[in-house]
Amino acid sequence: MATARVLLRRGLLPGHRPSAAAATATVRLLLAQTHSSLSESAEPKRLKTFSIYRWNPDRPDSPQMQEYEVDLNECGPMVLDALLKIKNEVDPSLSFRRSCREGICGSCAMNIDGDNGLACLTKIPAAESAAAAMITPLPHIFVVKDLVVDMTNFYSYNKDRAKLDGTHECILCACCSTSCPSCWWNPEAYLGPEALLHAHRYVLLL
C-alpha cells in the first residue's frame, strides 16, 4: 500500500505519465528502501553472554551470578559499554561505579575474566567465544552492592598522602637535570635531581 502511494504521487500508476525526473527519483527511493531492508535482515546478531556478580545487602539471599545477553552490534567495544547497555535497557538495578570513561579516574575498576582492570579500557571478548564473560567485584575487599566495593580501608592507607606533594608531579621533561651543574660536569656518574626525587618519594612511602 505504501509503495502504491509513492507510485501514485510520482505518477507511475497506470494512466499517469510522469516526468523523467519524477521517475528517476522514485526508482532511487525504491532502491534505497530495498537496500536498507536487505542490509538489516542480512546482519546477524552477535550475542555475547555476561555473567555478573549480584548481591543486594537489603536481601538475605546469598550472592549469585546473573547472566545477561548483549548484541555486540548494538553496543560499544568496551566492557563498560556492555554494563551501561544492560543497566539502561535490561536491568536498572545493576550497580557499578563509573565516571570519566577515559581510564583516568579509576572508578570502574573490577575483576573481568579473572584479571583486575578498568571496564572502560577492557575490550569485550569476542562474541565467537562460547564462554560467558565473567565480571565480579575487586577481590579481597568488602562489597557494598553488586560490583560496588567499599574503598574506605584502601583510602585510609593514603592518609599521609600530603607528604608526597611535590614528589610525584615529575613529567620527565629534563629541565632540572639540564640546569644542574653536577650533571654538566659528571653526567655519567651523577644521576641528577630527577632520580633523587624519585628515590626520595619511595623513601617516604616506606
User: Residue range 5-25: average pLDDT?
Assistant: 53
Q: What is the pLDDT of residue 134?
A: 96
End position of a domain, from candidates 105, 127, 151: 151
pLDDT tens digits for range 47-66: 999 999 999 999 878 899 99
Q: What is the pLDDT of residue 12?
A: 45
Cell digits for 195? Answer: 632520580
Query: Do 147 and 191 share a domain, yes or no?
Result: no
Query: Do 59 and 145 share a domain, yes or no?
Result: yes
Cell digits for 192? Answer: 641528577
DSSP code for 192: -
CATH code: domain of residue 121: 3.10.20.30
Full residue range of the structural domain in which residue 37 is found: 2-42
Query: Do 28 and 58 share a domain, yes or no?
Result: no
Query: Do 18 and 57 share a domain, yes or no?
Result: no
Other CB atoms within a 10 A radius of the CB of residue 68 amount to 21
Residue 156 lies in a domain: no
Query: Do 54 and 138 share a domain, yes or no?
Result: yes
> What CA–CA distance (Å, rounded) separates 44 from 60?
41
pLDDT tens digits for range 94-133: 999 999 888 888 889 999 999 999 999 999 988 777 789 9
Q: What is the pLDDT of residue 194?
A: 80
> What CA–CA distance (Å, rounded) separates 70 from 90?
9
Q: Which residues pair with residue 115 across a beta bridge? A: 112
- The answer to whether the predicted template modeling score (pTM) of the entire model surpasses 0.75 is no
Share of residues in the chain with pLDDT > 90 (%) = 38
Number of domains observed in the structure of the chain: 3
- Output Rg (C-alpha) for the chain, integer angstroms: 30
Cell digits for 79? Answer: 566492557
74 or 30, higher pLDDT: 74
Q: Which region, left, alpha or beta, applies to residue 101 given φ > 0 means left and ψ of -120 to 50 means alpha? A: left
